[in-house]
Amino acid sequence: MATRRVPSFLVLVAPVRTRYYFGRLLTAEDFEREQEYHRKARFRLNLALLGAGVVWGLGVSASADDSGLEVSPGMAIDGLGREIIVPCRQVVALKKPAAGGAAVSRPSKAPPRMELLLGYREDLIHPMPSLVDADSGEEPSLIRETFRLWCAPARKVRGEPADPQREGAVVLAVVRVTAAGRVAARGIDRGTRGGR
């Protein structure tokens, strides 16, 4: 049986936060610790009250030519408690079941299954002048909390070893794919809209 890594903020230890007082020297580390304290508290609360999965929206349908999937706007909580917001409709291409579009030999008649996954991602943006970074003289000043959508082969059994690429990801749908790399008729199962 595979063991699942428990996020550090879910380990039950007494939280520690920064204490401010007049005359205290503040560093970037102090402000990062302050943000981390509030983020971890919010993540714990998200998982305790809402759990991982789709909060609203994020409907999945086949694209017009069945070569991909369309995802409607919405919000989810990932398996680590982070909020994921998809602000507008997205189209995700299905990966071919075999390299180069070659025919897939299958022992059964069932088409391969793919999972449509939604994951959390952070982008460093808005470069500003930096006195410390001697190479470029700039450092990103903002973090955009965004998302990542991708298709991956469906797990065969629940106990498979953890894949770091899938850590915390929300499964939006399980999709049956034809040998031609198209969504099979009635091939979208939206019943698995929880976290991993």
- Residue 194: band (very low, low, confident or very high) from pLDDT cuts 50, 70, 90: low
Detail the DSSP E strand segments found in the chain: 53-57, 60-62, 68-71, 74-77, 83-86, 90-93, 113-129, 138-153, 170-177, 183-189
Residue 37 has pLDDT above 50, yes or no: yes
User: Is 42 within 8 Å of 155 (Cβ atoms)?
Assistant: no
Higher per-residue pLDDT: 155 or 178: 178
pLDDT digits (tens, 9 = 90+) for 87-146: 999 999 986 444 444 444 434 444 588 999 999 999 999 999 988 766 778 989 999 999
What is the per-residue pLDDT across 46-70, written as a single tens digit (0 to 9) for each? 999 999 999 999 999 999 888 899 9
Which distant-in-sequence residues (6+ apart) come within 8 Å of 18 by Cβ? 30, 33, 34, 37
Sign of the CA dihedral running 179, 180, 186, 187? positive
pLDDT at 6: 62
Higher-pLDDT residue of 160, 174:
174
The three-class DSSP label of residue 168 is: coil
Average pLDDT of the chain is 83
Size of the chain, expressed as the number of residues it contains:
196
**Residue extents of the structural domains in the chain:** 23-189
